[in-house]
Chains A and B, each alone.
Chain A
Amino acid sequence: MDTGHTAWLLTCSALVLFMTPGLALFYGGMVRGRNVLAMLMKNYVAMGVVTVTWIVIGYSLAFSGDAGGLGLIGDLEFFALGELGFGTEIGLDDGEGYPDSVFLVFQLMFAIITPALISGAIAERMKFTSWVVFIAIWSIVVYAPMAHWVWGGGFIGSTDGTEIPGVGAIDFAGGLVVHINAGAAALALVLVLGPRLGWRSEIIRPHSLPLTVLGAGILWFGWFGFNAGSALAADGAAANAFLTTQIAAGVAALAWVLSEQVMHGRPTTLGFASGIVAGLVAITPAAGFVSPLWAGVIGLAAGVICFAALQLKFRFNFDDSLDVVAVHMVGGIVGALLLGLFAEAAIGGVDGAFFGAAEQFLRQVISIVIAVVFSFVATYVIAIIIDRTMGLRVSEDEERRGLDITLHEEQGYVLTE
């Protein structure tokens, strides 16, 4: 066992877990005060629900190997942990590795935050019980297969040369698996759920941007575990991913507020916080494959394009309340596409179009189309089924009175003793 790698991955696992509370604050500040607890809770509950689904079956479906050699899904070898080895070593070619349990727990944290990301789209109107059922099903039926396809030996990540004929796309830390997946799912869920009462007719504004800004800072901090940890080793690749992550986030935040300055005449606090997240999303698939300067270009593109993508929901009339589509789906696509141009074999072993391998760009395009279509369609079906059986939405009366008091019998802000 390599104690350095093991220690680093345990640390990164904790960092990635900490992103979900950060995300909860990021989202919680953006809703109205009467829904703040309901928003926090929809994020936090993922830390419970997905821990269970991942341990029971999700990890096995994603990472146990490949059932039938088709590259579609794992088998049940690790069902309820199965024969998972707590002392055996996996991961590295040179035999220097870390325990299976470390990989399981690191991947668990990704499986937790991905459905939590979707919660921003359904803010202020979705039933809590239906949300719990949704993320339990979604983490098994949508997340686990996608993780298998890209990282678990499935058909998106594998190349033609291997046993399973595949797309050969690359995704360092989850552009496809986490962000495009969550963004496309958010779009599907919102289309079934419908807009909030008063959307586009009443003022619906963030109740506490300080919470949001704090949340964005925690996300940035945790994201180093997400991206640098995805090197699955404490080595130069991790260091490169750390550096590219920092650069992309900083440049994207600046690009976002510059865009605001040009379009609206004011740089906003919410804009800077949003730009941070857009940059982090876009660099996620690329962090270990591109050089630091190209990471800056990815950050620049993410800041400008995600800011422009905010208009999509008004143009096509869907209430993606906290802009999960504009930031995560669009940001993820920006990163996954530019990765196909800027990837450099000297950095992460794969060349993109700018370094002589035009086919890598095509592979990225194909992988994005597959991820968007699969996530959208599967999520749409799950949403329809839950809507027809349990109902997705709270009543109009509950929505007007606020979800904190009606769903949880609590208030976020008690203004008297």
Chain B
Amino acid sequence: MRKRKSAAAALVAGMLVLVACGASDGDSGSAEASGKPRVKLVINGGLGDKSFFDSAHEGLKRAAKDLGYELKVVELGSDRTKWEPGFEDAAAADDYDILAAGTFDVTDYIGDLAPQYPDKKFWVFDAPVDYSGKNGTCSNKCENVYSVTFKQNEGGYLAGFLAEKLIVAKSLKGAESLKKAGVMGGVKIPLIEDFVVGFKSGFKAAGGKGSNVLVQYVGGDKPFGDPAKGKEISNAMYGQGAALVWPVAGLSGLGTFESAVAAKRYAFGVDSDQYQTLTDPAQKDTVVTSILKNVGNALYKAAQDDQKGSLKYGAVETVGLAEDAVGYVNDDHFKELVPEKIRTELEAAADQVKSGSVKVPSAL
């Protein structure tokens, strides 16, 4: 028995040594060989969400292809307890020049790590680190961190504006008598509320009543990964007279498109072009347009600017409609469902926001 145990221990130890060697060999080899800037995308979640992280990944892949970056992706999974050690490991490994990470959840980790690795660069998307350094993070004022945030309220404004215009013009076949629209958020946090606040303001700007916007949050254990609950909530919204529902809830939103098919109603996509990512033709047909929050474009632009040396570290950049970081899908399917008059009005509304003549309220 004892013999067997020690043999097993030796085997495990041997495997660890092999793994460790393998990793360090590979890393130093690739680093020496190419002088390319190495960017490491660390995801506090997983790829395959068909929107947010996939968009970030796509943008950096494009940067790798066009601009000669070397890209490495680390997925930390949905278990929050693994995020902090995951970021510490990722930052400690000397296999990158730039560490990219996103969402509000990572700002404290990056704020802690950036001062420890002053010769590395950090890109944080969709939330800023605390540059003031007053709350225990960013002891070096995060002068090696670039943050980019998005005006998702501007995207929400266009969604709400379009929704009410479609309702008033009775353009949605099968939903002509309905007056309401729904927004299904993942959780009630300021970032998600920013979409909602924008939607409501656009809906009202187009002449709709605020009380005709139904708002609900998925919540629970997996707010961005519970399509069954997403479908149930969408069922309820369509049942209460919503002509269309806009899910802002990651994979939970996939339930909305199924619900829309069953109810013979409509939906908007979010973050990525969901008309493209869905495969079922019946579900595709329900997607009027997708409100894009183009994380990928923002990261691509960061990569471009960094090569030119013009990327502003130690500060946060906020991008929106004017920078093409937020927008909507204007494809043939959209043109088929939305009459030309409304499309023109929507473009005008977008121009007003871009020029600053319309200020969209924000929840941030």
Q: Do A and B come from the same complex?
A: no
